[in-house]
Each structure stands twice: as structure tokens, then as C-alpha cells.
Amino acid sequence: MHAPAIQRDTLLRLYREMVRLRVLDERMMTLQRQGRVGFYGACTGQEAATLASAIVLEPSDWIFPALRESGAMPLRGFPMVPYLCQVFGNSGDETKGRQMPSHMASRSVNQVSWGSCIGTQLPQAVGAAMAAKIKGDRTVIAAYLGDGATSEGDFHVAMNFAGVFKAPVVFICQNNHWAISVPTSKQTASESIAIKAQAYGFPGVKVDGNDAVAVYEAVRAAVDRARSGGGPSLVECETYRIGAHSSSDDPTRYRDEREVEAWRKRDPIEILRGRLNAMGIWSALDEDALRARLLSEVNAAIAEAEQKPDPPRESLFDDVYSTLPWTLREQREEMMAAPTVPRPDAKTIAGK
């Protein structure tokens, strides 16, 4: 085990953030099963690829995420309550309850709202990177994608444009082996995803996406290259989606549980904890205290977020026109005149 090019304090912070994301995902999946939220997409098994890459970025850098990168927001300082309010779609959500759950975004931490249409964020990320280059600032853009996105035309458009114009963008592919129910073997005949970068004239590297230090070092090198004017890179993080694609998915219908169990033995949190233990900077007592504290914090944030009221109905008509046309004014007046139907509170739902 080589000495990581990462400071001890950063390593400890990264571990705590990975455990927090795991605790949060476990709680939110439970809430979804209880009917208290409608949808959730967990990051379980992919915490290293998500957080060890994001921790490399500077506050002024931007993230264009896919489904499993929302955990970068708390890592970068976004408060937990409004983060959870996005899942509830209530008035505490900065995006006013308009996005599908698990599509968190905030300008305060430079994280763009993503769309469920796969790969569309990639040309957008390259556009943002070109804007930074034209302005002459030092911003780097992190463009995340899954293995399934490499089958989309947007992936190739983004890679080609970035390569030609040397955009300061780092493509970070979380190859978790499954694009919902489609395995990577049905996505590409290439020996890897990383090798695809060669066709577009820039480096591609494949790393163990469950080794947080390996992810950190690879993304650190790519970000430094982009920031110094060297152009784009593609980092393929080979990882595994331990759980379902989302709360709407049943993976037992298409994959072998023996494969899942094999990857459970490569849990990124266990791998990093083993490294910390070997370095003598973590103990069982530290672990117990951390998990107890995080569970308490997450439960408190859920309790607060769940009590927020719905967004006001009239906000449905905001933020599209500076002056509403008469057709929408009439619709708003008609809606406001209609009686409201109160939704059941959290305790009623949980008690069903």
C-alpha cells in the first residue's frame, strides 16, 4: 500500500463524508418504502467514486452531475435540511419542488440540476468549460456520467468538442456495470470506457472506483491538467451499484445475486476504513461515535425537512415570464379559486 498523495485530514474528512452519505441513503430508502417520499436514488457502493472525485475540486469549480453525485453537495457545504427538502419537494427546496426527487442542485455550491435524459449534461458541461476558458479564469468543470451514457450521442459530441478545443473539463465516468438493467458488455465492445478518450485526442485512465485514494489521485491529476491549460481528460471509475438503480427498480429480475455479493466484499467504505486503521488514525471507538452522531444528525434533518409546507400553489406560474400572458393569468386565477386538498402529515403516512 503506497503512501497516498492526500493529506491525513482530507482522508479523514473524506471517510466521514462517505459514511454520512451511506447513512443518509439508508434512511431515505426506508422513508421511500414507508411512502413518505416518492422516489430516491441511492449511491450505495459508489461513495468513493462520487466523493473522492468531488473533494478534489475547488469551490469555484462546477459539477454537472448524473444520478449518483448529489452527495457532492453536502461535501461542499450545502446544508442538509434544504438538501432533503428537494426529495420531499416542499417549500424548503431551493428549486421550489419542481424537479424530480434526487435531482438536487444549488448555485451556492456550483452544482447544476441534471435531467433524467441520459447524457444531456455532457455538452452542457463542455459549454461551461469553454465559457471559463474564454473568460480566462481557472475554473474546471467536472462532468459526471454513467457507463450507459457512453452509448448516447451527447457523450461523443461532448468528447469531440472538448478534445478539439481543449476545454478545461474532466469527464468522470462511474462505470457501475449496470445502466438500469443493461450490463456494460451490452454498451460497448471497447476494452474499457477510458480508452474511448484516445479517439478524441486526450488522456483516458481507468482506476479502481472503490478505492477512494486511487480515485482522488487520478482525478487530482486530471483536474490539475485541465486547470493548467492541458485540456480534458476522461477518468473511468470502475465501481458497482450494490442496490437497485433507484427505489423504482427491482434488480433481482436481471442480475445474479452472487455478483452483488462479490462486490459487497469490495465495499469502498470498508476499503478506506482498512487504510485508516492501518495508518493508526482510526479505531472501533471512532467508528461507533461517528455512526451514532451521523444517524442523529440525519434523523434530525429529516424531521425538520419533513415538516416544511408544500410550495405555494401560485409559484407554479413563476419564473417563466416576467409578465404573465393573459392565458396564464386566467389559469392561475382559476386554480387559486379551487379548494385545496390537504395532504396527510408524515405521522399519518408512516402509520399506515
pLDDT tens per residue across span 201-235: 999 999 999 999 999 999 999 999 999 999 999 99
Mention every residue, 6+ apart, whose C-beta is less than 8 A from residue 20. Answer: 74, 294, 297, 298
Q: How do residues 60-88 score in pLDDT, each as one tens digit?
A: 999 999 999 999 999 999 999 999 999 99
Single out the catalytic residue among 107, 254, 264, 321. Answer: 254
- Asked whether the predicted pLDDT for residue 194 surpasses 60, the reply is yes
171 with 199: CB under 8 angstroms?
A: no
Single out the catalytic residue among 177, 245, 273, 275. Answer: 245
Single out the catalytic residue among 20, 177, 225, 241. Answer: 241
Mention every residue, 6+ apart, whose C-beta is less than 8 A from residue 64. Answer: 112, 114, 121, 122, 124, 125, 128, 141, 142, 143, 144
- Residue 345 is predicted with a pLDDT of 63
Rounded mean pLDDT of 7-27?
A: 97
- Residue 347 is predicted with a pLDDT of 55
Let me know if 264 is a catalytic residue. Answer: no
- Asked whether the predicted pLDDT for residue 349 surpasses 80, the reply is no
- Phi-psi domain of 97 (left: phi exceeds 0; alpha: psi -120 through 50; beta: other): left
Distance in angstroms (rounded) separating the CA atoms of residues 141 and 128? 7
Rounded mean pLDDT of 121-143?
A: 98
Length of the chain, please? 352
**Whole-prediction pTM value?**
0.93
Reference 336, options 310, 317, 309, 322; nearest CA is 317
Q: How do residues 95-125 score in pLDDT, each as one tens digit?
A: 999 999 999 999 999 999 988 899 999 999 9
- Asked whether the predicted pLDDT for residue 23 surpasses 60, the reply is yes
Q: Angle, to 10 degrees, between the axis of helix 8-33 and the axis of helix 284-306?
A: 50
Distance in angstroms (rounded) separating the CA atoms of residues 287 and 22? 13
Residue percentage of the chain with pLDDT more than 90: 91
- Residue 320 is predicted with a pLDDT of 85
Q: How do residues 325-344 score in pLDDT, each as one tens digit?
A: 999 999 999 999 998 877 66
178 with 242: CB under 8 angstroms?
A: no
Distance in angstroms (rounded) separating the CA atoms of residues 103 and 83? 10
Mention every residue, 6+ apart, whose C-beta is less than 8 A from residue 136. Answer: none
Q: Which string of DSSP letters, residue by residue, matches 122-178? A: HHHHHHHHHHHHHHT----EEEEEEGGGGGSHHHHHHHHHHHHHT-SEEEEEEE-SE
Let me know if 177 is a catalytic residue. Answer: no
- The mean pLDDT value of the chain amounts to 94
- Asked whether the predicted pLDDT for residue 159 surpasses 60, the reply is yes
Q: Work out the pLDDT band at 20, boundaries 50, 70, 90.
A: very high
Reference 52, options 239, 241, 212, 225; nearest CA is 212
Let me know if 254 is a catalytic residue. Answer: yes
- Residue 340 is predicted with a pLDDT of 82
- Residue 346 is predicted with a pLDDT of 55
Reference 219, options 171, 251, 283; nearest CA is 171
